[in-house]
């Protein structure tokens, strides 16, 4: 099966989230192919989970002082600090259960993505492990990397990849953050709660060097093809998709109402 491989230039939070939603909408309508996307953020941005409180979990004044953007994702989960292509690679998958050849079980799609991510990261030299079941429950932490969920990836018992998903029928959007490195001091400054950075793993730590963003894209793309027998064809957004992204970014993701979590 042929998929689109979409590698986009660093963009602000509203644009990045609008692209992901447009890809998902298009796949749901059958007007867009299944798409694997890799992207980065400019400026560095905190993305909040769909239902996450804005004022309780992070210091907005610190974000403004540091030039850090804020955006609310269409998916759930906890906040992630996206620190630009030097320290972070973000992926997204917009597809359907039929594209993956799996049933309607939510976890089956998570597992499908996790297997490819793990294969790519191991190719880079990182001995990652897939967490088959979440190890602890209770209140959701403010910071995504404070707890590992089912079919997320760890390195030496610490979280390396955080992912979130949104579904509509058989179609879904899953996106997540892969830490090349981390600015621990900045993360601690942004988030109000005391989150144990001891739970965070990075590729820089695993490899003894910070890997290049492009090298990670190459390894992960090859892994999706090898693990699942798909063909990735590099491509861009269609004219219709690009127009929808511009509208959605402006009218939804860049608005104060959406960021505040208002209907």
The three-state secondary structure class of 85 is coil
Q: How far apart are the C-alpha atoms of 147 and 163, rounded to whole Å?
A: 11
Categorize the per-residue pLDDT at 15 as very low, low, confident or very high, splitting at 50, 70 and 90.
Answer: very high
Query: In this structure, what CATH number is given to the domain that contains residue 70?
Result: 3.30.930.10
144 is catalytic: yes
Residues of the chain with pLDDT > 90: what percent? 70
Measured CA angle at 179 (ends 185, 102), to 5 deg = 145
| Mean local confidence (pLDDT), 113-124 | 97
Q: How far apart are the C-alpha atoms of 44 and 63, rounded to whole Å?
A: 10
Categorize the per-residue pLDDT at 198 as very low, low, confident or very high, splitting at 50, 70 and 90.
Answer: low
Tally the domains of the chain. Answer: 1
pLDDT of residue 180 exceeding 90: yes
Query: How distant is the alpha carbon of residue 169 from its chain centre?
Result: 21
Asked whether the whole model's pTM tops 0.85, one would answer yes
Active-site entry in 117, 144, 164, 217: 144
pLDDT of residue 203 exceeding 80: yes
Residue-range definition of the domain harbouring residue 165: 2-260
Alpha helices by DSSP H, listed for the chain, are 13-29, 54-57, 60-66, 97-100, 106-124, 184-190, 203-207, 213-228, 239-248, 256-260
| Mean local confidence (pLDDT), 126-150 | 68
């Amino acid at each position: 099966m042929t998929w689109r491989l979409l590698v986009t230039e660093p963009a602000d939070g509203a644009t990045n989230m609008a692209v992901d939603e447009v890809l998902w909408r298009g796949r749901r309508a059958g007007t867009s192919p299944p798409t694997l996307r890799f992207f980065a953020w400019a400026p560095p941005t905190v993305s909040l989970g769909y239902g996450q409180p804005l004022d309780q979990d992070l210091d907005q004044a610190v974000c403004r002082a540091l030039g850090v953007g804020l955006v609310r994702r269409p998916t759930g989960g906890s906040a992630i600090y996206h620190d630009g292509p030097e320290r972070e690679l973000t992926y997204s998958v917009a597809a359907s259960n039929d594209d993956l050849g799996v049933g309607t079980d939510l976890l089956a799609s998570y597992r499908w993505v996790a297997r490819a991510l793990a294969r790519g990261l191991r190719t880079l030299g990182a001995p990652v492990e897939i967490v088959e079941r979440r190890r602890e429950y209770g209140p959701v932490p403010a910071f995504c990397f404070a707890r590992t969920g089912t079919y997320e990836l760890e390195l030496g018992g610490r979280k390396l990849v955080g992912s979130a998903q949104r579904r509509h029928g058989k179609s879904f959007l899953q996106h997540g953050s892969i830490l090349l490195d981390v600015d621990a001091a900045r993360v601690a400054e942004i988030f109000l709660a005391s989150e144990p950075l001891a739970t965070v793993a990075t590729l820089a730590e695993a490899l003894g060097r910070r890997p290049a963003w492009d090298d990670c894209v190459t390894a992960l793309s090859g892994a999706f093809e090898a693990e699942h027998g798909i063909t990735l064809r590099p491509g861009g957004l269609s004219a219709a998709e690009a127009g929808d992204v511009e509208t959605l970014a402006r009218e939804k993701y860049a608005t104060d109402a959406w960021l505040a979590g208002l209907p």
